Amino acid sequence: MADECVHILAPDPALAAALLAALPGRRCTVWTDEASARAGLPEATLLIAGSLPAGTAALAGRLRWVHALGAGVDTLLPELPAGAQLMRVTGVHEATMCEHAWALILALTRQLPVAVAQQDAQVWRRFPTASLAGRTLAVLGLGAVGGRIAAVGAAFGMRVVGTRRSGRPLPGVSELHPPAATREAIAAAEVVVVTLPLTPATRGLLGAELLAAMRPGARLIVVGRGGVVDEEALVERLRSGALAGAALDVTASEPPPPGSPLWGAPNLLLTPHIAGWSPDHVRRVAAVIAANLDRHDRGLPPLGLVDRDRGY
């Protein structure tokens, strides 16, 4: 009901303010750290959070509605009480993640890091670049984000293949594979884009074996969740020259710790988990959550309901 208190675990003051502004007239309690959250969890029934403190499942016996602050829910599921439903943010990140993925693809194929380095050194020297038209793009995870990336690839004149659990056809995608056939999807691709969520089924999916199955000289772009790619194996493939380049917007640890081989890996671009960001990102996330609270009040099915078994 609308008079229920909404608890918000949001260390970011700007995000907390946006959520409060999107929920006028509601009783809200904001927790800015995990210690205050643990103290209040036994009373919470409605919760908005990006992650859950350790022990939440045991503490939050009344919790029955949890809304994530983003599309990924791997930081919430392990501590989610059995009786609580979980929603993720939908409809906010798709366009910007597609744009960012293509910025990374084009930066790698047109060798923009080389151009930047030469400009810094005041060097004018031509270097070889790659073309996309007529090449093969593999998208692992043809959901809302992956589908947009695939459509742009088709517009570039690329042959597009990919993986999709449902098997439903997509415009511009010439070849669909089930997740179990990831090897077949990536084997002939010059560019592989990963938009997969982090679940028990996808954690470490692109390990040494599948990375070795990629075409020599291929490029790998990851904009889904960190932990899907074996980063140590990826660095080895880059150092050996087996892969022409890679770009990661997400990593297993964010940021990578000092001394991580990712920092110095050759032909690797790192961006700090910004693929889904836009100037009005916080406001749009808050609007989605407010709409789902309204649906909760009216007894309507929530949008973005997470399937616990699938992990998204």
Q: Which of 273, 283, 284, 295 is catalytic?
A: 273
Q: Which of 27, 254, 308, 310 is catalytic?
A: 254
Q: Which of 67, 93, 100, 225 is catalytic?
A: 225
| CA atoms of 286 and 156, how far apart (whole Å) | 35
Please indicate whether residue 254 is annotated as part of the active site.
yes
Please indicate whether residue 273 is annotated as part of the active site.
yes
CA distances for 56 relative to 59, 77, 159, 252, angstroms: 5, 11, 46, 23
Q: Quick check: 178 and 228 in contact, CB under 8 A?
A: no
| CA atoms of 270 and 261, how far apart (whole Å) | 12
Other CB atoms within 10 A of residue 1 CB = 7
What is the DSSP track for the chain? -TTSPEEEE-S-HHHHHHHHHHSTT--EEEE-SHHHHHHHGGG-SEEEESS--TTHHHH-TT--EEEESSS--TTTGGG--TT-EEE---SSSHHHHHHHHHHHHHHHHTTHHHHHHHHHTT----------TT-EEEEE--SHHHHHHHHHHHHTT-EEEEE-SS----TTEEEEE-GGGHHHHHTT-SEEEE-----TTTTT-B-HHHHHHSPTT-EEEE-S-TTSB-HHHHHHHHHHTSSSEEEES--SSSSPPTT-HHHH-TTEEE--S-TT--TTHHHHHHHHHHHHHHHHHTTPPPTTB--TTTT-
The closest alpha carbon to 46, from 303, 293, 300, belongs to 293
Please indicate whether residue 296 is annotated as part of the active site.
no
Residues annotated catalytic, as ranges: 225, 254, 273
